[in-house]
Chains A and B, each alone.
Chain A
Amino acid sequence: MNTPLRRVGIAMLAMIVLVLAHATYIQVFKADEYRADQRNQRVLLDEYSRERGQIVSQFDGQVLAHGEPTSGRLQYLRRYSEGPMYAPVTGYYSWRYGSAGLERARNDILSGNDARLFVRRLSDMITGRDPRGGHVQVTIDPNVQRTAYETMTDRDFTGAVVALKPDTGEILGMVSTPSYDPNALATHDGEAQEEAWTAMSEDPSKPMSNRAIRETYAPGSTFKLVTTAAALEDGATPDTEVTSASSITLPNTQTQLQNFGGQTCPGSTLEDALAYSCNTAFAELAGELGASTLRSTAENFGIGKSDLDIPMRVAMSSVGQLSDEASLYQSGIGQRDVRLTPLQVAQLAATVANDGTAMRPQLVKSLLAPDLSTISDYSDDELTGEPALSEENAEILRDMMIESEENTAGGGKRDDLTIASKTGTAEHGADPKNTPPHAWYTAFAPADDPEVAVAVLVESGGDRGLAATGGSVAAEIGRMTIDSALRGQSE
């Protein structure tokens, strides 16, 4: 009976080999899938057991987010100082709902998983110190951020403010209102987290949406900067004659395109047209320039870039199809299918301010190791590789924008400061004439040596309803933001 016993022995061997083969399949081939499954909390728990790095401002080292030791199972609680104000920058870091913003985009550094931290982690391990995450230093200027956020929230405005440093692309301020408190999502109390998440994600005002980079809007007259730049590059001058008619008929249609309030333009040069924001002139101008010229200038401003990360992904701005002449006319004044993010609108002013060259916007100044030594520094980079307009034309456009600023109402003006700006009042919605317009203001200052460029968007007329204009609603916020930026940096 040894033969059957030997066969049983072989069967036993086969059973173990089968289990081994299956274990190989699970632990080698399927391992990554199981490791990354969102219901597998091991990786997350590991992250929580490590001290997550801080998010700090490049100015005064102000801490926007840090880990606070707790006695709980999750060893560190993520805390955000002035959570709602900085939420568009920091994002949130939640046990249940994952992460967003920089918390997500730079998670590798913050959690300590980044390969560049490996050697330090190894030495931590040998010296018996708990491995820690690296820090992210952001370009945000707390003064700018606070001013922009408070002026927006004081007025209960829904919208966004972006402030850029024109020559480097550093983002000095990025505000989206209404905002949310990331602390509510970072709490370790699961129920409180769930409650906050439900409340915020069901809120019709969409507090968790970062309007500055994730939403696109009709830019209205601020887009005339692009049209003007294209015209200047095409050989036009400020004195070029343009139509001053109060209204024109769109080609091949019966549709009338009117100036604001149905007025005749007070002047008939390109300079006047921009200063008074005459729709008819820019509509015709766009028609004369043609779709490809307009589009290529727009692209050099950064419009149409689909892969821009700051390091959060920025929604793509677009001029739309420009399929026929009528749509080209309407696009020339920033309506129809033109959709820009507030960041892109700030980029319009910043590009003019930077002698016609768009710089790549960037939110991260540098990445630091846990011991604060620098891992990598941000370096300036041109956004598109080709200037949107020449230095001379940029200067001309700047002077035209100064002219425009002088014709713009709204508070917050300073006598000792020359600002170059452009406002916008963009119609939107299914019934544009009866929907309060989006109010825009984009500007840079000081005009002769630009240090800051801003864009302000106030959704749906702010507090003025149908009568809202870029000048009356958005301009003051923009000017105060500029003021805070200049003041903060001179200190």
Chain B
Amino acid sequence: MSSPVDTSPGTGSGPTRKLPTRRGTELLMLAFATVIITFALMLVDANQGQELTLSIVWYGLSYLGVFTVAHVAVRYFAPYADPLILPCVALLNGIGLVMIYRIDLASAERAAQQDIAFTPDAPRQVVWTVIALALFLAVLVLIKDHRTLTRYAYTCGLLGFFALALPGLLPASVSEVNGAKVWVRIGPLGLQPGEFAKILLLIFFAAFLVSKRDLFMSAGKRVLGIEWPRPRDLGPIVLATGAALAIFVLLKDLGQALLLFGMVLMLIYVATERAIWIFVGLVPFAAGCVIAYNLFTHVQQRTRNWLDPLATYDEPGGGYQNAQALFGLGTGGVAGTGLGAGRPEMVPLSKTDFIAAAIGEEIGFIGLASVLMVYLILAMRGMRGALAVRDTFGKLLGGGLAFAITMQVFVVVGGVTSLIPMTGMTAPFLSYGGSSLLANYILVALLLRISDAARRPQQGGRPRGEQQKTPLSDTGTVLVERPS
């Protein structure tokens, strides 16, 4: 099935032919993204009655500078990586920064009127961005080949589960903020380990499924027309998913639970190539939904908020947030109120979970659709790398990472627009928050690593050894071509 993609780069990878790295395109697109962001910042300042000074240009240039460092790193450490991934990230991150700065201005004004001290979040987000880019570099430098990750699969899995459970184990004073027990706070520094857990677990599941893939594919009894794998092979994955979901439900973090479940289901489907697994997975999911609905009042409340946020507007924990988001989106309409000319600060959590409402209000449906398109390009580019990469683990991991981005966007933007019930989740790269930013930059570094591996010409003696290391995908190609 996968033969054309798998074999063509291999055959064309003679030492004489040099593939274009397309790093120039990347730099150009980065500059383009910076121009858009600088212009957006200018609009915010103009509409907010701030003095327009040359400093905006300096902000723009330093933003470009920071990303140029990342670009240079990619040039050295992943020269064949996809040229659109980094610019997409830069654009999203920049739009997020502009929106956070814009909401800062509004909050500062309000705080000044009420004589409350106010610290802006935008500078902190800038610092987080720089730290995240440093982490991004570290991942590119340290992980020269994504396949080395398989060696640490079980370590990743353990770490992942530990990170998930950690806030639940710690006392509420260090782990609970606004009712969600997902934090680890040491002094002024706060991290949400769950954000990192999702990547660690993705690595674990991908590696696990690759190593057990043949068992899933062949062994097992045939019952009801489905070939069931042996329980002892399936056991770990069911256990892992169940444990993760239990932790999430205990932490009241529905969004992450949904994300993790979606990812595991997707990985199993891709690994086994059997759609039936999706349905098999959806049955316990549906049951889980029903149980959660009957068990937790906050799930019922959220469902009612979703069905009609305007009706539950005045209830405690009611549809107020959703309704405010809808008001903002509605007021923005098609073209938006203009950057800096709306009132996105009226939506609670407008810098984090509801940043999509702020974008929809100020740059309208056009702006929100554009942002979604950038996400789609980012995810599709990641998926392209996964399709083109030669090894199974790379495919699973790349596909999983790309899917994770889309799934997050779906859950958070869908929640903000009341397409699905609202679950607390941040919009990747846009939302304010260090953990989300750090985790997502790691995710992107891995995507770049995989897309680099996909296009990198294979050299001399090394590929031979590599190919022997990935026997599963190779045997697959032979099997397909045999009937002709």
User: Which chain A residue shows the least CB distance to B412?
Assistant: A19
- Best-buried of A22, A23, A31, A32 by chain B (most CB within 10 Å): A23
B470: Cβ under 8 A from any A Cβ = no
Contact of B383 among A12, A20, A32 (CB under 8 A): A12
Contact of B310 among A19, A26, A27, A37 (CB under 8 A): A37
Quote the shortest CB–CB distance from B378 to chain A (angstroms). 11
Q: A27-B368, A42-B346 are in contact. Are A2 and B395 (CB under 8 A)?
A: yes
- Best-buried of A12, A20, A22, A35 by chain B (most CB within 10 Å): A12
Q: A8-B399, A16-B406 are in contact. Are A23 and B365 (CB under 8 A)?
A: yes
B residues in contact with A372, CB < 8 Å: none
A23 touches B326 (CB 8 A): no
Quote the shortest CB–CB distance from A36 to chain B (angstroms). 9
A430: Cβ under 8 A from any B Cβ = no
A residues in contact with B269, CB < 8 Å: 4, 8
A433: Cβ under 8 A from any B Cβ = no
* Contact-residue bracket for chain A: 35 or more
A residues in contact with B386, CB < 8 Å: 5
A residues in contact with B418, CB < 8 Å: 22, 26
B376 touches A27 (CB 8 A): no
User: Which of B93-101, B135-143, B331-339, B442-450 lines the interface with chain A?
Assistant: B331-339
Contact of B387 among A5, A13, A19 (CB under 8 A): A5
Give B343-394 interface residues, CB cut-off 8 Å to A.
343, 346, 360, 364-365, 368-369, 372-373, 375-376, 379-380, 383, 386-387, 392
Annotate A1-44 by CB proximity to B: 1 below 8 A, 0 otherwise.
11111101100110110111011101110111111010111110
Quote the shortest CB–CB distance from A430 to chain B (angstroms). 41
B residues in contact with A30, CB < 8 Å: 326, 330
B343 touches A42 (CB 8 A): yes
A72: Cβ under 8 A from any B Cβ = yes
B127: Cβ under 8 A from any A Cβ = no
Quote the shortest CB–CB distance from B369 to chain A (angstroms). 6
B residues in contact with A16, CB < 8 Å: 372-373, 375-376, 406, 409-410
A residues in contact with B414, CB < 8 Å: 18-19, 22
A residues in contact with B333, CB < 8 Å: 27-28, 31, 35
Q: A19-B419, A27-B329, A73-B110 are in contact. Are A5 and B407 (CB under 8 A)?
A: no
B134: Cβ under 8 A from any A Cβ = no
A1 touches B2 (CB 8 A): yes
A residues in contact with B392, CB < 8 Å: 1
B residues in contact with A41, CB < 8 Å: 346
- Best-buried of A4, A12, A19, A42 by chain B (most CB within 10 Å): A19
Quote the shortest CB–CB distance from B48 to chain A (angstroms). 12
Contact of A28 among B275, B334, B373 (CB under 8 A): B334
A residues in contact with B407, CB < 8 Å: 15
A27 touches B409 (CB 8 A): no
Q: A6-B387, A34-B329, A39-B327 are in contact. Are A19 and B273 (CB under 8 A)?
A: no
B328: Cβ under 8 A from any A Cβ = yes
User: Which chain A residue shows the least CB distance to B106?
Assistant: A73
A417: Cβ under 8 A from any B Cβ = no
B375 touches A5 (CB 8 A): no
B417 touches A5 (CB 8 A): no
A9 touches B383 (CB 8 A): yes
Annotate A180-206 by CB proximity to B: 1 below 8 A, 0 otherwise.
000000000000000000000000000
A12 touches B379 (CB 8 A): yes
Quote the shortest CB–CB distance from B324 to chain A (angstroms). 8
Q: A8-B270, A12-B380 are in contact. Are A23 and B406 (CB under 8 A)?
A: no
B327 touches A26 (CB 8 A): no
User: Which chain A residue shows the least CB distance to B410?
Assistant: A15
B5: Cβ under 8 A from any A Cβ = yes
A71: Cβ under 8 A from any B Cβ = yes
Give A242-290 interface residues, CB cut-off 8 Å to B.
none
B365 touches A12 (CB 8 A): no
B330 touches A5 (CB 8 A): no
A34 touches B326 (CB 8 A): yes
Q: A23-B413, A28-B333, A33-B330 are in contact. Are A42 and B342 (CB under 8 A)?
A: yes
B330 touches A34 (CB 8 A): yes
A235–B5 CA distance with the chains assembled, in angstroms: 105
A462–B49 CA distance with the chains assembled, in angstroms: 57
A32–B327 CA distance with the chains assembled, in angstroms: 9
Listed from nearest, the 10 A-B pairs whose CB atoms lie closest are: A34-B330, A40-B327, A27-B365, A2-B2, A12-B406, A22-B419, A15-B410, A31-B330, A4-B270, A31-B333
20 contacts between A and B (CB under 8 A): A1-B1, A2-B1, A3-B2, A5-B270, A5-B386, A5-B395, A5-B399, A12-B403, A13-B380, A15-B410, A16-B406, A22-B418, A26-B417, A30-B326, A30-B330, A39-B310, A40-B330, A43-B331, A71-B113, A73-B110
With A26-B417, A35-B327 known, 18 other A-B pairs at CB within 8 A are A1-B2, A2-B2, A4-B269, A4-B275, A12-B380, A12-B383, A16-B373, A20-B372, A23-B417, A30-B330, A31-B330, A34-B331, A37-B310, A37-B327, A42-B328, A42-B343, A71-B113, A73-B109
